Amino acid sequence: MNILIDDISKRISAGAPYSRDALAVDGLAIHVLDTVGAWIAGRATREGQHLSRLRKGAREAAAPLTSSTLDTIALRVATARLSEVDDVHMPSCTTPGAVVVMTALSLAADLEQRSDAALLVDALHAGYEVMTRLGEAVSGPEILHKGIWPTYLLAPVTAAAVTAKLLNLDWERTAHALAIALSTASGRPGGSVSGGVVGSVGTSARWLLAGLAAKAGCFAALSAAQDFNGDRSLLNGEWPGRSHGIQLSPAPLLDFFAGRPAVLGTSIKPYCAAKHAIAAIDGFQTLLRQGIPLDALTKVVVRVPPAHAGMIGHRDVGLSRLSRITSCGYNLALAAFRPDDLLDIERAEAVTAAAVIEFVQKVEVVADAALALQCPHHYPATLDLFVNDTMIASIAVSNAFGDPDKPFDLVSARKKFRRLVRGIITDSQADRIEQCCLDLNNPTTGPELARMMTAIDATLTSGTVPDMCLDEEHGAGTIPAA
């Protein structure tokens, strides 16, 4: 019998076959830059600050998290993920970058003497492959609507794969790392998906749970490196059927590290919005560029797959930050009147401008069963624009900007990054981060990025406002507070 964990682990240990492919490395670099930008923006939000306080307390011993590498991984994964502007792999309905990139970069400084650029690139590829292929194997888009969050479910095994590769474990130790990590997987965050907002009654632990899951996966790999063993038959046996009620299809796992790199099949979000609404926003912006008479519009009908309609069809934008991120009508209104706000991660309060409020009421989201045929490889939408009873324009979008078939180029990635970090770090610091992210084959890239992120984290925690001036040797410095 082919033991799936062993097969995957042998391929991870051997390294990504396309780790030196220029297209794959360039695509990976863009995703690293995008994820670092998401972390910086998320770290400056109220929710990001709320998370960071978990490792600060009146008494050091009372702090739930410490300054250890494992706890840093937990906080960084949670913070990048809460941004809701990190990348997303549609066929698996997972968001790999927050887990993969934050785990790898957080470990990079600690492993500087034992790792090199090739291991970092291989580890990043391994993480994207594990999360997306396992996400497809467990039918991520389907289980999401059953209350299981695919990214949370797979964060431990993904972080374990990244860590095992950075440690350069052999295939057998890697297999035990994956097995231990799978044993820790939950997948059910509980609570409302719209609960992630700081308020008088607290904030959702959703993001924190994802971070702690990644920490568990890293711990699993470190334990396996010390000769702790897991059940390597899990993927062939009870996991995830008995423990989660999920059927696993082995087919996606048999092509691990085969065909197109998983990172190139992962979408980058051009806006801070639910991925299920991005095709509609993209189509609407296309129509606006064609000179649609915005003031004359009386109705906008957005058709999406039925499973998406309930998520993005609401207008309850006063409820929470996530309600403002998920509402299709609200984001179309921003695209029309305040496009720069589409990359506002904070979304602290709903925009109350009269034009925005009025436009939201004009948007109607309709479930269209025919569009479900394009899922899960596409999250399509069609838009019909009306003046009274007359349709004046229509557009159908299957591939939105940022999707694998309509990918971000370097110019677009840099533009998004600069918008995300605006007012948080200086231009010179942004320049250096870009240079590092886009030069993954340089052996100093991982440790350098890790040091810069540590400086950013420390300064946002202290709230100091002086200009960033990193020391070339040690990476110490200060940045403007958000």
Instruction: Print the domain residue range for 32.
Output: 4-265
Q: Which of 237, 265, 293 is the C-terminal boundary of a domain?
A: 265
End-to-end CA distance of the chain: 55
150-155 average pLDDT score: 97
What is the residue type of 86?
Answer: D
Output the pLDDT for position 465: 34
**What percentage of residues in the chain have a pLDDT greater than 90?**
75
Is the pLDDT at 199 greater than 60? The verdict is no
173-183 average pLDDT score: 97
What is the residue type of 240?
Answer: P
Q: Residue 456 burial (CB < 10 Å; 0-12/13-18/19+)? A: buried
Output the pLDDT for position 320: 85
Q: Give the span between the Cα atoms of 65 and 73, in whole angstroms.
A: 11
Q: Which of 265, 289, 320 is the C-terminal boundary of a domain?
A: 265
Output the pLDDT for position 88: 98
Bridge partners (DSSP) of residue 365 are 302
Name residue, tokens 């939201």: 360
Give pLDDT tens digits for 119-131. 999 999 999 999 9
Output the pLDDT for position 60: 64
Q: Which of 265, 283, 307 is the C-terminal boundary of a domain?
A: 265
Opening angle at CA 161, ends 157 and 163, nearest 5: 115
Bridge partners (DSSP) of residue 366 are 303
Give pLDDT tens digits for 242-283. 888 899 999 999 889 998 999 999 999 999 999 999 999 999
At 443, the pLDDT band (50, 70, 90 cuts) reads: confident
Q: How many CA atoms lie within 13 A of 46 on its CB side?
A: 14
Same-domain check for residues 222 and 280: no
Same-domain check for residues 245 and 379: no
Same-domain check for residues 122 and 244: yes
Output the pLDDT for position 272: 97
Output the pLDDT for position 62: 72
Output the pLDDT for position 197: 46
Is the pLDDT at 228 greater than 90? The verdict is yes
Q: Give the span between the Cα atoms of 19 and 31, in whole angstroms.
A: 15
84-95 average pLDDT score: 97
The count of structural domains within the chain is 2
Q: Which long-range contacts (CB under 8 A, 24 or more apart) does 392-396 make?
A: 392/292, 392/293, 392/297, 393/287, 393/290, 393/292, 395/283, 395/284, 395/286, 395/287, 396/283
Does a structural domain hold residue 342? yes
Same-domain check for residues 34 and 149: yes
Output the pLDDT for position 112: 62
Does a structural domain hold residue 213? yes
Same-domain check for residues 225 and 258: yes
Domain holding 302: CATH number? 3.30.1330.120
Q: Which residue has the higher pLDDT, 197 or 106?
A: 106
Same-domain check for residues 255 and 324: no
Is the pLDDT at 16 greater than 50? The verdict is yes
Same-domain check for residues 328 and 307: yes
Helices assigned H by DSSP within 338-471: 354-360, 410-421, 427-437, 445-462
Same-domain check for residues 280 and 257: no
396-406 average pLDDT score: 97
At 470, the pLDDT band (50, 70, 90 cuts) reads: very low
Same-domain check for residues 254 and 162: yes
Does a structural domain hold residue 411? no
Same-domain check for residues 324 and 223: no
Name the least confident of 45-54, 86-95, 296-305.
Answer: 45-54
Whole-number Cα distances in Å, 177 to 73, 123, 164: 17, 14, 7
Same-domain check for residues 388 and 319: yes
What is the residue type of 369?
Answer: A
The token pair that represents 249 in the structure block: 């299809």
Give pLDDT tens digits for 59-81. 566 788 888 999 999 999 999 99
The token pair that represents 361 in the structure block: 């009421």
Q: Give the span between the Cα atoms of 177 and 126, in whole angstroms.
A: 13
Same-domain check for residues 336 and 239: no
Give pLDDT tens digits for 348-365. 899 999 999 999 999 999
224-228 average pLDDT score: 97
